[in-house]
Structure 1
Amino acid sequence: MNVLIVFATVEGQTQKIAEFAQSLAEKVGYDVTLFDAADKTAPLSLEGMDKIILAAPVHERRHPETFEVVLGAHRAELAERDTLLLSVSLSAAFEDGMDEAQEYITEMEMRTRFKSDLNALVAGAVRTGSYDYFATQVLRHVVLRDRDYDPGAGEHEFTDWDALANVLATFLEAETASTQPPSKASSG
């Protein structure tokens, strides 16, 4: 069985999540291919892939453009396979941010015209070492407004690795699209 992990990363947390997914899939016997959506010259083939994990961070209310271009360009092929979207954001780290985190997915679906079979809202990380003054102020006063975390405390990883492992295990253990009746609706 083959799994393709298409990911985009900005500060490195989503790549770490993609590599975690790769490790978990390999442990249960899948052959895994990682594809970085930022590599605009690499060819992407979904041929022979049984399951596809899509992972991307949210910055300024949207997933990276390169990631969305991949989804839009391959939406018909993706709709034929089992897909899991891991949408990584700081909003997902807080209970009062979950609706907003879901909105990021809804907005991406409208732009790409692709809807994955399963979505998971995954909490990201704060990487204060890579922020300039402006980014720090946006983080403090917009992203983390009125939330119980001070970005002045330094870097912090909010990702719940156990919860993520459970989502991935459930997705990887589910029957593949090729063994299901052809009732899956097309997103295209």
Structure 2
Amino acid sequence: MKILVIYGTVEGQTGKIARFAEAELEKLGHRVELVDADDPTEISFDGVGAAILAASVHQRRHPRTFEALLTAHREDLRKIRTLLLSVSMNAAFPEGLEEAREYLTEMEMRTGFTPNEEMLVGGALRTSHYDYFAMQVIRHVVMRDRPFDPSETDHEFTDWDAVAACLRDFAG
């Protein structure tokens, strides 16, 4: 089956997840087309049987380009099976799951599109890229004083085994 993997990333973790999805789906024998929502290339749905939609959340919102793409192609997407991977720090912690689900609900209301399946995926911290102010936001707003080591330049909260299992279940 031909599967589109459409993604919107800000700091790169969702791009990494999209490439991981591409590799996992190809291992299962599917043909995969990877599409960056920031790339103005036209998307063809000819022969596509399913789509994996992956986007990060920053400031309670998925990237505007990703949401615009969903809005523009929602009729095409409704004709095929879809799985949305919503990547956020809140998804990494049990007490954050309700808020992470709200991000999806808000996006669905803005775009008028609801995927067939959804998965909340933990994101990553790229502390080497943050200035002092950004680190304070990370520590007190994003992480909400949860324990983490800010000296660690990159920390992934993505559960790769869970993502792989979800992709296998979705792709059949």
TM category (shorter chain) comes to: over 0.9
Aligned match of 2:69? 70
Aligned match of 2:104? 105
Aligned match of 1:18? 18
- Structure whose residues are more often strand by fraction: 2
Per-residue deviation, residues 134-170 of structure 1 (Å, max 9, x unmatched): 2211111101013232434432111111011110100
AA aligned opposite 2:89: L
Q: How does 1:135-146 map to 2 (within 5 A)?
A: 135-146=134-145
Conserved 8 A contact 1:54-1:84:
yes
AA aligned opposite 1:123: G
Instruction: For residue 83 of structure 2, give the secondary structure of its aligned residue in structure 1.
Output: strand
Aligned match of 1:85? 84
Instruction: For residue 42 of structure 2, give the secondary structure of its aligned residue in structure 1.
Output: coil
Q: Which runs of 5+ in 1 are unaligned?
A: 174-188
Instruction: For residue 111 of structure 1, give the secondary structure of its aligned residue in structure 2.
Output: helix
Conserved 8 A contact 1:140-1:150:
no
Q: Which runs of 5+ in 2 are unaligned?
A: none
TM-score between both structures, scaled by the size of structure 2: 0.97
The worse-fitting range, judged by mean Cα deviation, of 102-111 and 142-151 is 142-151
AA aligned opposite 1:108: M
Instruction: For residue 50 of structure 1, give the secondary structure of its aligned residue in structure 2.
Output: strand
**CA-atom RMSD in angstroms:** 1.0
Instruction: For residue 48 of structure 2, give the secondary structure of its aligned residue in structure 1.
Output: coil
Instruction: For residue 29 of structure 1, give the secondary structure of its aligned residue in structure 2.
Output: coil
Give the aligned length. Answer: 172
Conserved 8 A contact 1:93-1:122:
yes
Aligned match of 1:32? 32
Instruction: For residue 151 of structure 1, give the secondary structure of its aligned residue in structure 2.
Output: coil
Determine what percentage of the aligned residue pairs are the same residue: 56
Q: How does 1:155-174 map to 2 (within 5 A)?
A: 155-173=154-172
Per-residue deviation, residues 8-32 of structure 1 (Å, max 9, x unmatched): 1111111110011000110111010
Conserved 8 A contact 1:139-1:151:
no
Q: What is the CA–CA distance in structure 2 between the aligned matches of 1:153 and 1:43, rounded to whole Å?
A: 39
Q: What is the CA–CA distance in structure 1 between the aligned matches of 2:149 and 2:32, rounded to whole Å?
A: 38
Q: What is the CA–CA distance in structure 2 between the aligned matches of 1:106 and 1:157, rounded to whole Å?
A: 25
Instruction: For residue 52 of structure 2, give the secondary structure of its aligned residue in structure 1.
Output: strand
The worse-fitting range, judged by mean Cα deviation, of 8-17 and 129-138 is 129-138
Aligned match of 1:117? 116
Residue 123 of structure 1, CA deviation:
0.3
Q: What is the CA–CA distance in structure 2 between the aligned matches of 1:124 and 1:26, rounded to whole Å?
A: 23
TM-score between both structures, scaled by the size of structure 1: 0.89
Q: What is the CA–CA distance in structure 2 between the aligned matches of 1:87 and 1:56, rounded to whole Å?
A: 5
AA aligned opposite 1:13: Q
